[in-house]
C-alpha cells in the first residue's frame, strides 16, 4: 500500500512537472513570437530609420516621388479616429452592458440581444466599410452640407462612426460578463437598506465592475487603432495633416494597406517604419491600460468594502 502511494505521488509529480514545462514553453513561445515580429519590423525599417530618424514622427510630407516621408499625418489620423470612436461608443457599450447584465439577464429578450451583439462582433470589417459607403457616408455628407462644410462625406468623422459601431460589441460583451459577476449579496444588502435599482447600479455594480468595464473599453481601443479595411474605405486616404474631424485623412494601417503592394526601396522601408510605430503605439496603449485596470481594481475593492 505504501509503495502504491509512493508510485502515485511520483506519477503526480512527473505530471505536474510536465504540465509546468508545457505552460512555460507556451509562454516562452509567445515572447519569442513578439520579439520576432519586433525584430522583423526593425530590420526591414533600418533604411528609413537611417534616412529620417526621429524626424519621421514630426514631418508632415509623404511624397514617394521625391522620397520624402513623414508619419505625423498618419499618427494624428490614427489617434483621432480611434479616440473619437471610443468616445462615441462608451455610452452605448455601458448601456448595453447594464441592460444585459442587470435588467435582462435571462429570457428571450436577453438571448436575442446577446446573439445580436455576437453577430455584430463577427461581421467582417469590409462589410462594415461597404455599409458605411452606402448609408453612413451620404448621411455625413448631408450634415456637412447643413453646417457649411465641404460635402465630401468621407473623413475622420465618418471613419470614427463606423469604428464606434464596430467596437461596441467587444466592450459591451466584456462589460456584461463582468456585471453578471457582481455578488448578489452586495446588491441584496443595498436593497434591504432601501436603495433603488439606480442607486444599486451606481454605488455597487459600477464600482465593483469598473475595472472589467475599463478592460473592455481598452480592448475596443486596441481594435480601433489597428482596424484597416473599414477605415480605408471611409477615411478619404489623404496624406495631409487633417485640420478638422470632417477632413479626409489616413491612418497608419490604411496607408500601409494602400501603398505597400507597389512600394519599393525607401518607400517600402518607410511603410514598415510606420508599421513599427503602430506596433509601439499598440504596446503603449496596452501597458497603460493594464496599469489603469490594476489601479481601478484596487480602488473598486476599497469602495465596495
How is the chain split into domains, by residue range? 74-304
Provide the residue-wise pLDDT of the chain in tens; the chain has 305 residues.
Answer: 555 555 556 656 677 777 788 888 888 898 899 899 888 988 888 888 888 888 888 888 888 777 788 888 888 888 899 999 999 999 998 888 888 888 887 777 778 888 888 888 888 888 888 998 888 888 888 888 888 887 888 889 899 999 999 888 888 888 888 888 888 788 888 888 888 888 888 888 888 888 788 888 888 888 888 888 888 888 888 888 888 888 888 888 888 888 887 777 888 888 888 898 888 888 887 787 777 767 666 655 565 55
Task: Name which of 219, 226, 227, 150 is nearest 178 in CA terms.
Answer: 219
Residue-level pLDDT at 225: 85
Would you state the cell numbers that stand for residue 34, as one nine-digit string?
513578439
Q: Please enumerate in sequence order all residues whose Cβ is within 8 A of that of 277, keeping only pairs 6 or more positions apart, or say none.
A: 56, 57, 71, 75, 252
| Rounded CA separation 281/131 (Å) | 29
- pTM for the model stands at 0.82
| Rounded CA separation 214/90 (Å) | 10
Residue-level pLDDT at 298: 63
CB 161 within 8 A of CB 85: yes
CB 253 within 8 A of CB 82: no
CB 249 within 8 A of CB 238: yes
Q: Which CATH number fits domain 74-304: 3.40.630.30, 3.40.50.720, 3.30.390.50, 1.10.3720.10?
A: 1.10.3720.10
Residue-level pLDDT at 161: 92
The CB density around residue 180, as the number of other CB atoms within 10 Å, is 13
Instruction: Report helix, strand or coil for 63.
Output: strand
CB 238 within 8 A of CB 158: no
Instruction: Report helix, strand or coil for 251.
Output: coil
Amino acid at each position: 500500500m505504501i509503495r502504491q502511494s509512493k508510485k502515485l505521488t511520483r506519477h503526480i509529480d512527473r505530471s505536474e512537472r510536465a504540465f509546468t514545462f508545457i505552460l512555460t514553453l507556451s509562454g516562452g513561445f509567445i515572447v519569442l513570437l513578439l520579439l520576432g515580429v519586433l525584430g522583423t519590423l526593425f530590420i526591414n525599417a533600418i533604411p528609413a530609420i537611417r534616412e529620417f530618424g526621429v524626424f519621421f514622427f514630426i514631418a508632415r510630407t509623404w511624397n514617394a516621388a521625391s522620397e520624402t516621408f513623414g508619419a505625423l499625418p498618419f499618427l494624428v489620423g490614427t489617434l483621432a479616429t480611434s479616440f473619437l470612436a471610443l468616445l462615441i461608443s462608451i455610452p452605448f457599450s455601458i448601456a448595453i452592458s447594464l441592460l444585459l447584465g442587470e435588467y435582462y439577464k435571462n429570457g428571450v429578450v436577453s438571448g436575442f440581444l446577446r446573439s445580436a451583439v455576437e453577430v455584430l462582433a463577427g461581421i467582417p470589417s469590409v462589410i462594415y466599410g461597404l455599409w458605411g459607403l452606402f448609408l453612413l457616408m451620404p448621411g455625413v455628407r448631408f450634415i456637412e452640407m447643413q453646417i457649411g462644410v465641404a460635402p465630401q462625406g468621407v473623413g475622420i468623422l465618418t471613419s470614427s462612426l463606423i469604428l464606434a459601431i464596430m467596437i461596441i460589441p467587444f466592450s459591451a460583451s466584456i462589460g456584461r460578463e463582468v456585471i453578471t459577476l457582481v455578488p448578489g449579496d452586495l446588491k441584496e444588502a443595498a436593497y434591504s437598506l432601501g436603495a433603488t435599482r439606480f442607486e444599486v447600479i451606481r454605488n455597487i455594480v459600477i464600482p465593483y465592475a469598473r475595472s472589467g468595464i475599463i478592460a473592455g473599453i481598452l480592448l475596443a481601443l486596441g481594435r480601433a487603432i489597428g482596424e484597416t479595411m473599414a477605415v480605408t474605405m471611409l477615411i478619404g486616404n489623404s496624406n495631409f495633416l487633417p485640420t478638422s474631424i470632417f477632413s479626409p485623412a489616413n491612418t497608419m494601417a490604411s496607408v500601409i494597406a494602400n501603398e505597400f503592394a507597389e512600394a519599393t526601396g525607401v518607400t517600402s522601408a518607410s511603410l514598415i517604419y510606420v508599421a513599427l510605430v503602430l506596433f509601439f503605439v499598440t504596446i503603449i496603449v496596452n501597458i497603460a491600460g493594464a496599469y489603469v485596470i490594476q489601479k481601478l481594481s484596487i480602488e473598486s475593492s476599497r469602495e465596495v468594502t
